[in-house]
Structures are given as structure tokens and as C-alpha cells.
Amino acid sequence: MKDKYVIGLILSIMISSCSSDNKIQKEPLSWPDATAPIAEEIAHVRIIHGDTVADPYYWMIDYFKKGPDSSKVVAYLEAENKYTEAMMKDTESFQDILFKEMKGRIKETDESVPYLRNGYYYYQRTEEGKQYFKLCRKKGSLDAKEEVLLDVDKMAEGFAYYAIGGATVSPDNKLLAFSVDTVSRREYVIQFKNLETGELLADKIVRTSGGAVWASDNKTIFYTSKNPVTLLSEKIKRHALGTDAASDAVVYEEKDNTNYIGVSKSKNDQYIFIYSGGTLSSETRYIKADEPNAEFKVFQARMKDVLYDVTPLADKFLIVTNDNAQNFKVMETPLDKTSKENWKEYIPHRKDVLVQGIDEFADYVAISERKNGLTQLAIRNLKDNSQHYLDFGEAAYTVYPSTNAEYNTDVLRYGYTSMVTPSSTFDYNMKTKEKTLMKQQEVLGGYDMKNYVTERVMAKSTDGTEVPISIVYKKGTKKDGTAPLLLYAYGSYGNSMDPSFSSSRLSLLDRGFIYALAHIRGGEEMGRQWYEDGKMMKKKNTFTDFIDCGKYLIDQKFTATEHLYAQGGSAGGLLMGAVINMSPEIWNGVIAQVPFVDVVNTMLDESIPLTTNEYDEWGNPNNKEAYDYMKSYSPYENIEAKEYPNLLVTTGLHDSQVQYFEPAKWVAKLRATKKGNNVILLKTDMDYGHGGASGRFDYLKDVALSYAFLFKLEGITK
């Protein structure tokens, strides 16, 4: 659930048949004569708050509860996969074309922009035909000999899934702590490598969140330990190299199961922080990095409905907080007096500007902000407190701090993109105000941004709120209601979906599709209130915003009902489920990826990973008011005997965020209840989890399937 999930609609080369000079070939829609699986119904009743609800597909939770012993669940999921394969059989060659087209846009032999950290330049590089990458460094100069710290291509051999969760070098540059997940449950094993000899140390730490923080002594690390059942981050532990991890000391245990916790180190290497926070409040503890055995001190005890985040400078701490400041403000306090009564205003609260975070340097701070729905960067000189903003020259874009590992530098590295501008990395000299483009994503096969148009429009929602929509399409696409349009959104956790470039999206645009991104409430695009108005007992605003964005795009002739499609994943999959219950008639097809659709049952079951962490987002259904409200919109609870749009649903058997049984139950109930002949397809990745395949090419097969589904509904065959 808690996941900024945007499936990679990314990468590919145009084939001649979809050139702007050629007419798109279309054929009438036809589906193969395949029989859809009918899921067994087994009596199960939920009774709470005097409300009795039958749930005949509850048995599908068995694989989660029992593991491989539940062969019935696996058999059902495999039957659904075979049905999806049969229904999409006539698109297989097209899917292969799409995959090769998108893969062909990727520069396979590539290298990231090196960054300097503690005397070494670090970078990743990829090789032609390889799915993963090599983590490398060079000492002192980019002309120095390359050291390969991790050859992930080689490490991943023999694994269906392989992900690196973190890689951190010790202060003396001699040891590497790194973590690996081979199951796709986001449970990482931390290991250690001697960078002088290349040997792996015997130490192994299981069931972690992946990150490791080094103390100054080069032998002590801190990490976050996970509960093996709920996957909650419950404890921060301390490990000394050469000792048994089973005996690691617990330096902090979180008692509030609605909070997430984590451990980090300040950029100036002076402090180690433990952060505990939920949606509404947070708390920070800290020690000096050169005193690893010290007891962590509370920076400021958690306060009701107050979030705060700490950044150390040479002479003070800066605190980003929403204490009496809905859009956050920045406070300062002495290094030896950290409690709230010592805080003084550093940057005041502004109603029209959301403060999102701070990147600190020896002489500057870079402040990430959001205004009028767009991201911006402010630079403040710590010597004279003067401040200026970077200018970007586009109406709709996304800018964000990139890797800024070095503390003693005047150079800020930032990333920049828009719906027509490929991802770009800039170095900005905060003293001279000079920008240097270090790298721009290369789109193989040729890409000219002048051939594409991006717009930003405002749709009026049901309650009169104006909702921004970012739009991109190929020049020459007609806005007369005949163009197919894919509308995407997320709308939860305050996660903003900002306009960005996707090379795989070109495969849609070049075939006549318009792509639109709805910045609906539940995100934070328009400030903190935008989020507050799209969660808990106001969650339905998220759904009505999206529906009204769809209707606006129809009214303005960007598309028409028979050509309008919707897509969302995870909490965005909840959005998909809700809008097809509320307004099924305006969508021709919907793609719901790893969708969170069984809200009530999941939020009632504390054994399911992340449930208790989510109470401040959705509510706790053990409370009757919250139960009644979430039941009124939960997609699984509100399926009715009516016509639904064509539906492609994807999930992963090992998903740790949204368990496989939610979409499986939802599909089974929809198929048993709906009217009409529109299809419902369920595709389960039996080897993967929430984010899909781990390789840099394999995920494109899922994108190709999604695109082929849309093209089939539009009768586009090439």
C-alpha cells in the first residue's frame, strides 16, 4: 500500500508503420472464444459493528497464511494466467514488437554521472544485453583505475528476482555494506565486502529494510529490523563486525505500530539519527557518529499532529515542521538545546508554498519547495542569509535534488524533466549561479521534443475545486473526440505525481494516444491541504476528482467515452476500483496494477504487512465511523450487477505491499457479478512482488502487455 507506485511506462524506438506520415491501422475488436475461470465460493462471514458481510472468496488468503501448502490458490492464479494468455494470444507478436521497440530506445551500455564522496568518485554502469548494473568507483580522479564494488549482473545469475537494497562504504573507504532481496518481499539480507581483498565477510543480517549506517569507527553499523510476519519496521539494531547478528543490541524499539522507523547519518558525518513517524506525528533520536555505544537522545518528544525533520549544520540544527504551519516552515535551534522551546523561526510559513525538504552543504542549504503545483529549488547562503531561486523556463516540469553526497562543496546536483524533456542531470554552482548539463537521457532511434506538445489544464471537480491535469501528445493529434486517451493518477499518502518524461510512452503517443496525468487530491501537488482533503474521511474526493478529470477531457474533445482509458497502481489501483464502481460508463478500459481493492478486510487484519501503518491514511475500521466510510467506497465491497469497463489487472504472488489475494478476490467477484460482455483479465507474476521484475528490460514485457491491451481495445494492430 505505502508505495509511490508508478509502473514504468518508459522506453522504445519508433517503427516506420507508426510514423506521423502513416495512418494508424485499425481493425474491429474481437476476443478469442476462451472460457474465463470461475472461482470456487466457500462460505465465510465477517461480522463487526453489527454488520454481517458474506465473503465467499476469503479462502484466497490461504497462500499468504499457509504458503506453498495452499495449492488451490496457485491453481486458480495459474488458470487466470492461462485465460489472460488465451485472450491476448492474437497480440503476442505485437507485444514482441512493442517490447523490442521500447527496449531499443534504451542505451544499453551506459554510465551514471559520477559523484564525489570522501575522496572517491562513485557511479553505476550498464553493459549491452545485461539486465542489471555494476557499482564502481575511482580514487581521486575520473582517470584513475576503476574498482568494481558490486557486479550485480554476475550476482543475480540464477535468480528470477534480484534487487540491491542499499550499498554504503565505511568512513575509511575499506568496507562495503550492501543488502540483497531475492524474493521480492522487500526483506533484505545485509552483507559486507572487504574492498581491499574483494572477500565477503562472514557477517549476515537477515530481515532488514536494506539500509546500513556506519559509525565513525568503521566496525559498527545500525540497521532497521523487520517483523517477519507483518514486515513492520519495529527495531533499530546495532551490529559490530565479527559478532553474531542474533546477539545484536536493540537500540530502539517502536511501540506505536502505526509508525514507520528508520536510521540515517547526516551528510557532515557528525550524527546518526533514528526517525519514527506516521502520517500525523514524528519523533527523532540522535547520537554522535563517533560514539556508537552512546544512548540515543530524544531531539523533541513526539507531539500530537506535529511532524518534524532535522538537518544539522555546523553551528545549529534546522527543523522542517508543520507545527502551526500546515505547509511547513523551517526552524533553527542550538546544537545543545534541541527541545521545542528553543526553536526559532528560520523560514516562515507561507500559505502558497509547501516546504518539502532541505539539502545541506557547508556554506549553503538547498530548499525543495512546491508552489502552484510545481516543484522549485531555493538556495540560501548560510553566511549572509541571502536567497535565490533557480529558473527553468518551462510551464510544467519536475525538478528535484539529485545525489549530493559531498558536504564541502558549492555545487548542487539536481535532476530535471518534463513530459517532453528527457531526464537530465545538472550541476549548479550556488556561488556563481552557473548551470552545467552533466547528462541527459539519450533516446536511441531519434527523439525530437519539437514533435510533441505538452499542456497543463484545470478541471473543475464536483465540489468546485480546480484540479490540474498535465497532458502530452504528438503534434498533429486531433482534439475532436476521436483520439484515445490514457488518464493516470495515484492520489494517496501525499505522494505527488509530477510531470516527467517516459521514452516508452512514445509507443502510445506515436500511435495516436494522448497521455494525461491527473494531479488529484490525496497527493500534495497543491500543498498540504491537497493531501488532507484526500485521505481518511475525505477520501472520496480523490475518486470524484479523477472522474471529473475524465469528464472534463471528454467535454473538451481531447477524447470520448469510447476512447477513454484509466490506469493506476497500488493505492492508485484502489482509485481504479472505486471509479469503475462509481462511474463505469465513462471508461472503455482500465488497467489496475497491484491494486489495493479490499480495503476493509485488509485494514481489519493486523497480520497483513503494513496494515497498522496505514490507520492514519485510511482510518481504523475497528472504529465504526471509519468502518462505515471505507466500506462505502472499498472496491471489493461495492461491486454491483452492472456493466463494467474492460479490465486488465496485474499482481505479484510475493507482493509485500498489496497482497495478491486482493486483486484475485476482486476479479473473481467482478466476473461473478457483472453484466455485459466486457472482459476482465488477471495476470499474476508468480516470481515477483509489488514492483514487478527486477531487471532493467524484463519489466518492459509487462508494459508491452498493458499497451497491447489498450491497442486491442482501440483496434490498433501495428
Catalytic member of 690, 694, 698, 706: 690
- From the list 445, 418, 488, 423, the residue with the least C-alpha distance to 103 is 445
Give the number of C-alpha atoms closer than 13 A to the C-alpha of residue 655, restricted to the C-beta side: 28
Burial track 166-182 (b if 16+ CB lie within 10 A, e otherwise)? bbbbbbebebbbbbbbb
In contact, 575 and 490? CB cutoff 8 Å: yes
Query: What's the residue count for the chain?
Result: 718
Alpha-carbon gap, residue 322 to 285, rounded angstroms: 18
Query: How many whole angstroms from its chain centre is CA 181?
Result: 17
- 690 labelled catalytic: yes
Task: Outline where DSSP puts E strands in 392-498.
Answer: 398-401, 411-417, 424-429, 435-440, 452-460, 466-474, 485-488
- 44 labelled catalytic: no
Element (H, E) at 493: none
- 172 labelled catalytic: no
Catalytic member of 233, 368, 496, 570: 570
C-alpha cell at 590: 482500465
Alpha-carbon gap, residue 287 to 596, rounded angstroms: 39
DSSP single-letter state for residue 26: B
Alpha-carbon gap, residue 364 to 361, rounded angstroms: 5
Task: Print the SS3 string covering 587-598.
Answer: CCEEEEECCCCC
Contacts for 448 with CB less than 8 Å, ≥ 6 apart: none
Catalytic member of 655, 685, 698, 702: 655
List beta partners, residue 593. Answer: 569, 650
Give the three-class secondary structure for 342: helix
In contact, 666 and 650? CB cutoff 8 Å: no
- From the list 314, 437, 327, 424, the residue with the least C-alpha distance to 365 is 314
C-alpha cell at 592: 489496475
In contact, 236 and 250? CB cutoff 8 Å: yes
Alpha-carbon gap, residue 102 to 125, rounded angstroms: 20
For cell 508503420, what's the residue? Answer: 17
Give the three-class secondary structure for 681: strand
Task: Give the DSSP letter string of 155-173.
Answer: HTTT-S--EEEEEEE-TTS
Handedness of CA 260, 591, 500, 373 (dihedral sign): negative
β 249-253/233-240 pair status: antiparallel
DSSP single-letter state for residue 71: H
Alpha-carbon gap, residue 684 to 560, rounded angstroms: 31
DSSP single-letter state for residue 248: -
Task: Give the DSSP letter string of 592-655.
Answer: EES----HHHHHH-TTSTTTGGGHHHH--TTSHHHHHHHHHH-GGGG--SSB--EEEEEEETT-
Phi, psi of 267 (to 5 degrees): -65, -30
Alpha-carbon gap, residue 218 to 269, rounded angstroms: 12
Phi-psi region of 207 (alpha: psi -120 to 50; beta: other; left: phi over 0): left
Which residue type occupies 484?
P
Positions marked active-site: 570, 655, 690
